[in-house]
Amino acid sequence: MDASFLDLMMAQQEESFEEAEGGGGVWVVADVEGGQIAPVTLEAVGAARTLAESLGAYVYGVLLGHEVTSLADSLYQAGADGVRVGDHPDLDSSVLESRLAVLADLFAEEQPEIILFGANATGAALAPRLAQRMGGGLIEHVTAFSLEESSRAVEAGFPVYGGDYFEIRACPEARPQFLTIEPGAFAKPFLDEYRKGDPTVLDVEPAEPATRVLGPAEGFEAPRVPLSEASVVVAGGRQVGDFALVRRLADRLGAHVAGDRGAWDAGVIDSDQIVDVRGTTVSPDVYVAVGIRGDTFHNAAMESAGFVVAIHPDRDASIFDVADLCVEARPDMVLPAILESLR
């Protein structure tokens, strides 16, 4: 075998390697919250890392804001291979157009394969606009994904009817694939302090904003959400002891106060606050049952809640059949400590 043949073979191998790399990698658009990288962004970088390793691609972070360059380190530590920073006073405020212009130019040049956003207000406003501009498919509020290797398409699942079941969708042909990552759905990656890099600085040309924020809306009060549509409910029952503690917990969690029929009999709640199939049926994300024994009527009216915490002194109380966290204790013993811990 002569050397030229070896050279040829190696050249072919190199070529095929570049092909396999394909596309322009997995990109994460970072969010800044209170002077730090938002937790959902770090989770998205972790998710991007998983995708990139299966695809044989690199992970890039895009960080836009004012005086944010120093935050690029956290993106490297979370697993980004490269970071692009756009640092400009105009990118700090909620001016959509400037961010949109920077991202559109960047992505038009880099041709990413997958672009991840956090599923928050910024992601909800930016991702669909970019997807429409670049002709890509967008799947929002993704909580799980797998990769279809033949088409390099992400099969992403998102909750339907608040998590009753999950719908799985994929974008088989159009690129880039846009995903917004639901906060808390993916594990926060390990921050490796020894991972470092030198971020590339982007040119920023401020764009004319199309909407103007005039300031706080004076005198505007949002209509009260009815109990049946509440996302957090704290309910008390006969064994609650001091009902004021329930109200304080509800205040602390920004929750609706409710109770079972026993609480209504005791006169501590109104009739429209009864959680019961004959009263109000609720399906909140979080339901805290304090001193509620949990009869059939009550349990049937709240069993579609996402996460149930039950506190009751009786070990055999049927509320524990439908609860995710069960505390067998007198509510007035643990509630003050819970209030203290939530401070």
Partner 1 sequence: MRITVILRRVLDPAGIVAHRRLRRLFINREEYILQPADRCALEVALRIKDAGDAEVVVVSGQPEPSDDTLRRGLAMGADRAIYLCGESFDDADDAVVTSVLKTVIGQLGGADLVLAGATTLDTGQGQLGIRLAEALGWPQIVGVRSVEAKNGRLRAVCQDEEQFVLVESDLPAVVTVCPEAVKPRYADGVRLINVYRGQGEMAESLETWDVGDMMSADELVPLLESRGRDFPPERTLGERVEGTPDEVAQTIADALRQRLRG
CB of 246 to partner 1, least distance (A): 14
Measured distance CA(156)–CA(186) in Å, rounded:
13
Spatial CA neighbour of 287 closest among 325, 232, 326, 228: 232
Cβ atoms of 112 and 127 closer than 8 Å: no
CB of 237 to partner 1, least distance (A): 17
Q: What element of type H or E holds 85?
A: strand 82-87
Determine how many CB atoms are found less than 10 A away from the CB of residue 319: 25
Q: Which is nearer to partner 1, 60 or 178 (CB)?
A: 178
Distances (CA, A) of 78 to 53, 67, 104: 14, 20, 24
CB of 44 to partner 1, least distance (A): 12
Q: Which is nearer to partner 1, 69 or 228 (CB)?
A: 228
Query: DSSP letter string over 188-203?
Result: PPP--TT----PEEPP
Which residues, 6+ apart, have CB-to-CB distance to 189 below 8 Å? 42, 43, 45, 46, 49, 78, 79
Q: Which is nearer to partner 1, 102 or 138 (CB)?
A: 138
CB of 217 to partner 1, least distance (A): 4
Q: Which is nearer to partner 1, 266 or 300 (CB)?
A: 300
Q: Which is nearer to partner 1, 137 or 237 (CB)?
A: 137
Measured distance CA(95)–CA(230) in Å, rounded:
31
Q: Which is nearer to partner 1, 201 or 225 (CB)?
A: 225
